[in-house]
Amino acid sequence: MNYRKKIEKIRATAKKACYSPKNKFTETAWEYHILPVVRHSLALGKKLKADLAVLEIAALLHDHAGITDMKLYPSHHIHGAKIAEKILKKYNWPQEKIEAVKHCIQTHRGSIKLKHKTLEAKILASADAMSHITEPADMFYLTYGVHKYKTKQGSQWLKKKLERSWKKIMPEGKKMIEKDYNIIMNLLNKAL
């Protein structure tokens, strides 16, 4: 099986998980989070000459554990790396690529401070945070639809989340989405 076919199999696995009734975040996670993380990862990866295969796979699978089992969400970065390894071994990916993908997934979360040892890990963490800012409709859905916050409480929660996200974005990513960040922060400040 060639590289592109393997990626398409992984893409299908990730999409299927997003559309599963078990996914508390609902199917919107695919279109409004996973795919934007893939786009941002690949855009930054091309700009910074990173390993695009590692980035695409890590972006597709970075939240897989939390999407497939909400009980795993608090440590989805750890469980997700293990799940990614199983998936990648199934498609005979080289072990060095598997380790690179696992490191990206293990270190992608903004709420947990882990050292990014590779450019790809820095990019995935940035891309994940960038999607929080460039997909405001989904962030409002997460805040008010999934978490069921009231207006002011939700605005406070989302503002803190987006401020954390902004801090973890690499400078090249911030340049790409600065206007989006300013717009959403202005909206949230009006609600406070």
Query: What's the CATH number where 105 sits?
Result: 1.10.3210.10
Question: Whole-angstrom Cα distance, residue 187 to residue 35?
Answer: 24
Reply yes or no on whether the pLDDT at 32 is more than 90: yes
* Structural domain count of the chain: 1
* Distances in whole angstroms, Cα of residue 172 to Cα of each of 46, 67, 151, 168: 12, 29, 33, 12
- Residue 1 has what pLDDT? 67
Question: Whole-angstrom Cα distance, residue 116 to residue 123?
Answer: 9
Reply yes or no on whether the pLDDT at 110 is more than 90: no
- Residue 24 has what pLDDT? 85
**163-184 pLDDT, tens per residue?**
999 998 999 999 999 999 999 9
* Mean pLDDT computed over 46-75: 92
Q: Is the dihedral of CA 74, 71, 97, 55 positive or negative?
A: negative
The closest of 191, 62, 11, 37 to 129, measured between CA atoms, is: 37
Question: Whole-angstrom Cα distance, residue 147 to residue 181?
Answer: 22
pTM for the model stands at: 0.92
**20-31 pLDDT, tens per residue?**
998 888 888 999
* Mean pLDDT computed over 92-115: 87
User: Helix 52-61 vs helix 95-106: angle between axes, to the nearest 10 degrees?
Assistant: 50
Please list the helix, strand and coil fractions of the chain in percent, rounded to the nearest 5, in that order: 80, 0, 20
Q: What is the mean pLDDT of the chain?
A: 92
Reply yes or no on whether the pLDDT at 191 is more than 90: no
